[in-house]
Amino acid sequence: KIILAIETSCDETAAAVIKNGTEILSNVVASQIESHKRFGGVVPEIASRHHVEQITIIIEEAMKEANKTFEDLSAIAVTEGPGLVGALLIGVNAAKALAFSHDLPLIGVHHIAGHIYANQLITNFKFPLMTLVVSGGHTELVYMKEHGNFEVIGETRDDAVGEAYDKVARTLSLPYPGGPHIDRLAAEGSPTIDLPRAWLEPDSYDFSFSGLKSAVINTLHNAKQRGIEISNEDLAASFQESVIEVLVEKSKRAAIEYRVEQFLLAGGVAANKGLRKKLTEEFDQLAIELIIPPLYLCTDNAAMIGAAAFNYLEKKQFANYELNGDPGLDLEREY
């Protein structure tokens, strides 16, 4: 069974053709980073315009690369939320038009379900499983008993990890998106600067990163005022160590308490080298299988949407033509 999947929730226009939820026949991503860079972040209006310009080209490319026609398809899947509403609408309307004109079922997918299911393109899920989702807009631990069933056991109370990375990078005058730059600098420095770790209540799986972000900014300002030189590399290394320590510790505790068969990493920040290394080291000591997606499946793409859509296709959980872009879509929703 073959699905054409479309993703336009933020600043990537993406389409992919996926077989049986596990096999990538094509995976085309047009990034708009260059257009948003000079503004230091994603400008919603610009994102929508680029999606409009790119969407049909990217879909055609994905179909051509997969060497498939619309007759070969079993469904059209699309990210329905969360994300920028104007950006989501471009993908949703393209998907509706194609589903209608080719008489194919339509499937709406939650963007974070997509990030989690990116892992299904490299492994078979074994339930129960836990995923640490770390991206530009989300930081959460998600428990799954079965396909399509998501329970958020903890989430950030303020900034997402990716957001904190991007804000710290901006303070260090690094280009957008700053995550990869901080990651690179961190590898060249030592974590010698004392920064806070927000553990919250002892039994909480929630996160908080705004205090850490402010501490980094204050450290820089104070040093500047006193004329002290601070190494960007050391500051990046210290920030990254603080982030990773909390993420990994809570991940381990959640994996053990929920007795999971697998632990997955997902989202754009899953590309972080320090996080991948530390998680691998720590899970090596637990008898729990750790799955980390390859870099091209960490950041936004449509292959992950096609992977997540497959179990909805199997259960015939289809959307109707009232499907809409929903910026606040809930991952735990019931069909």
Annotated binding site for substrate: 133-137, 166, 179, 183, 272
User: Given candidates 117, 143, 150, 165, which one binds ligand ATP under the rule CB under 6 A?
Assistant: 165
User: Which residue's CB comes closest to ligand ATP?
Assistant: 268
- Which CB sits closer to ligand ATP, 63 or 239? 239
Q: Degrees (nearest 5) of the Cα angle 181, 187, 190? A: 120
> Which residues of the chain form contacts with Mg ion (CB under 5 A)?
10-11, 300
* Residue 5 dihedral angles phi and psi, to the nearest 5°: -115, 145
Q: Would you give the end-to-end CA distance of the chain in angstroms?
A: 22
User: Given candidates 8, 54, 120, 135, which one binds Fe ion under the rule CB under 5 A?
Assistant: 135
12 binds Fe ion (CB under 5 A): no
Contacts of 184 (CB under 8 A, 6+ apart): none
| Shortest spacing between CB 64 and ligand ATP, in angstroms | 25
189 binds ligand ATP (CB under 6 A): no
Write the burial class of residue 251 (CB in 10 Å: 0-12 exposed, 13-18 middle, 19+ buried). buried
- Which CB sits closer to ligand ATP, 47 or 73? 47
Residue 138 partner contact from ligand ATP, Mg ion, Fe ion, none using kind-dependent CB cut-offs of 5 to 8 Å: ligand ATP
Site string for ligand ATP, 5-34 (x = CB under 6 A): ----xx------------------------
User: Given candidates 110, 300, 304, 323, which one binds ligand ATP under the rule CB under 6 A?
Assistant: 300
Q: Degrees (nearest 5) of the Cα angle 157, 160, 162? A: 165
Percentages helix, strand, coil for the chain, rounded to the nearest 5? Answer: 45, 20, 35
Report how many helices (DSSP H) and strands (DSSP E) the chain contains, helices first.
11, 10
Longest Cα separation, the chain: 69
| Shortest spacing between CB 83 and Fe ion, in angstroms | 8
Residues 270-309 contacting Fe ion, CB under 5 A: 300
Q: Which residues bind Fe ion (CB under 5 A)?
A: 135, 300
